[in-house]
Amino acid sequence: MIAAPLLSSSHVPSSESSNGLNPAERGALSSQEASTGTREVLGTQGASELMDAETSHTPPIATGASIAAMHSHSQQSASNSESGGVAPSAEADHLSTEECPQDEESLGTILDESSGDDIDNPKFGPILNDDEDSSAQKKTHITLPTWLQKRYSDICSELNRLKEQEKLPPCYEQGTFIMPMKVLIFNLKDVIQLEPLIFYHLEFFVWFPHLLVNCIPCPACRAAGRRCKSDGQPVVLRLHSLPQSPRHIIDLEYNTYIIGQRYYCDHKECGKSYLSWSPAIMDILSPVVTSQFTFYLTGRCGISDRVLELLCHCFQYSVGPLPFLELLRHNHLAFYEKRHWLYLSMIEHRKQTPYFSQLALFKQYGDAPDGLLSTGEHTQQWENSW
C-alpha cells in the first residue's frame, strides 16, 4: 500500500478542475500542482534542491531537505502513476535513450567512441595462425631486438648442427628444457671485459616433443582417417625447420622464450604444417608429456602457469587486474635492478685489479649491444605490440 503524499487538500487536483483536459494536460497540471504543494511543505530550500536534482545530470549532495523532498516527490509520482495522470517527461525520455541504449547498434557506437586508440593497437589485432607458414602471413608486430635475435639465431644454429649429427640438445642430455644451463656466476668466471649482455637474463625453453615420444601422428590425417598407402600405418609428421623467432612468455620475475620445432605432413592429400606448441599437437601427446609444457599461450606471447595461478588467487581475494599488473611489473623491475647492481658491483671489483687501466670503457647498463636503441625503449615498444 502506497502512502498518500503529504499535501494539503487545496493542492490536490480535483476531478472537476481537470475534467475538460486531455491526459497530457492533466498530467502536466498534476505535476505543477504537486511541485507547488511540495514547496509549501518543504520550504524554499528543500524545493530548490529538489528542482536541481531533477534538472541536473549529476547527483546532488544529499541534505536533509533534499532527502525529504525526494521522498515526497517519489510518493507523489507513485500516486499519480496509479491514477494514470502523469505522463513521463521529455527529459526522462532523453536520459533513457541517451544513457541506456536499448539496441546493439547504439551500444556499439558508444563502445567505439570510448575505446580510443585501442582499435589501432596491434596487440588487439587478429591472432595469427602458428600452424601455417609464417612467410605467407603479414606480421604487424615489431621484430625482436637485435641482440635477442642474434642470440636466438646462435642457439638455433647449434641445435640444427646437433640435429644433423643426430645428437640431442645439451639441455636434454642434462635432463632439462632450459638453455643456457649455466648460472650467471659461471658465465663470469673467465670474463675480463664485462658487458651488459652477460647480465641480461635470457632463458630459452627448448620444446621438442618428438624427442620425448616415438612419433607424432598428423592430426589432420588422423581426423580424416588417412593412412600410408605403402604399409597402412598412421601418417606421421616430419621435421621441418625452426621458427624464425621464439615465443615470448611472461613469468613472475623475468621473461622466457620458447624454441619450438615446425613439423609438416608429406601426405599428398594433406601437406599441413604444425608448430610443436600447437593445440592440435598438444592434444595428441600424452598427459605426461604435455604436463612439462607449463605455459599458456595468447595471441602474441603467453604466460607461465605460476603467473596464472597468482592471477587466479588475486581475483579470488578481490585484487583487480591493475594491482596485479603493478605487482608483476614490480617483480620484473626488482629482478632487473638486482642484475644492474651486480653489474656495477663487478665493475667496482675490477677497479681493485692491476689490469683495470687496460680495460675499455664499460657500457651503461640497459644499452643495446647494437648501440641503436636502448633495451628499455625497445622492450617498451615490443611490449606495446603484444
Q: Rounded CA gap, 262 and 247, in Å?
A: 13
Q: Rounded CA gap, 175 and 155, in Å?
A: 18
Q: What are the beta bridge partners of residue 205?
A: 178, 258
Tell how strand 262-264 and strand 273-275 pair up: antiparallel
pLDDT of residue 211: 95
Q: Rounded CA gap, 193 and 324, in Å?
A: 39
pLDDT of residue 198: 83
The mean-pLDDT minimum among 7-21, 106-120, 262-276 falls in: 106-120
Place of cell 611472461: 250
| 283 contact partners, CB below 8 Å, separation of at least 6 | 219
Convert the pLDDT of each residue in 219-261 to its tens digit. Answer: 999 999 888 888 888 999 999 999 999 999 999 999 999 999 9
Q: Which phi and psi angles does 325 have, rounded to 5°?
A: -65, -40
- pLDDT at residue 342 is higher than 70: yes
Q: Tell which residue, 45, 12, 31, has the closest CA to residue 73.
A: 31
- Helices 305-316 and 321-350, axial angle in degrees (round to 10): 130
Q: How confident is the model at residue 156 (pLDDT cuts 50, 70, 90)?
A: very high
Place of cell 677497479: 351
- Whole-angstrom Cα Rg for the chain: 35
Q: Tell which residue, 368, 75, 362, 130, has the closest CA to residue 262.
A: 130
Q: What are the beta bridge partners of residue 145?
A: none
- pLDDT at residue 346 is higher than 90: no
Tell how strand 255-259 and strand 203-206 pair up: parallel
CA torsion, points 210, 212, 214, 218, in degrees to nearest 10?
Answer: -40
- pLDDT at residue 373 is higher than 90: no
CB burial readout 99-109, b (16+ within 10 A) else e:
eeeeeeeeeee
The mean-pLDDT minimum among 95-99, 186-190, 226-230 falls in: 95-99
Place of cell 579470488: 316
| 273 contact partners, CB below 8 Å, separation of at least 6 | 131, 132, 133, 240, 262, 263, 264, 265
Tell how strand 247-250 and strand 178-179 pair up: unpaired
Q: How confident is the model at residue 31 (pLDDT cuts 50, 70, 90)?
A: low
Convert the pLDDT of each residue in 254-265 to its tens digit. Answer: 999 999 999 999
Q: What pTM, to 2 d.p., does this model score?
A: 0.59
What is the side-by-side order of every strand in the sheet holding 238-239? Answer: 238-239, 262-264, 273-275
Q: What is residue 377's three-state secondary structure?
A: helix
Report the half-sphere exposure of 362 (CA within 13 A, side-chain side): 21
Place of cell 639441455: 171
Query: Which segments within the chain are labelled E, that is strand?
Result: 178-179, 203-206, 238-239, 247-250, 255-259, 262-264, 273-275, 295-297, 302-304
The mean-pLDDT minimum among 42-51, 184-193, 268-277 falls in: 42-51
Q: Rounded CA gap, 314 and 305, in Å?
A: 14
Opening angle at CA 280, ends 265 and 133, nearest 5: 50
Contacts made by residues 229-238, CB under 8 angstroms, sequence distance 24+: 235/265, 235/267, 235/270, 237/210, 237/263, 237/264, 237/265, 237/274, 238/263, 238/264, 238/265, 238/266
Residues 210, 216 contacting (CB under 8 angstroms) = yes
- Helices 64-83 and 23-55, axial angle in degrees (round to 10): 160
C-alpha grid cell, residue 206: 627448448
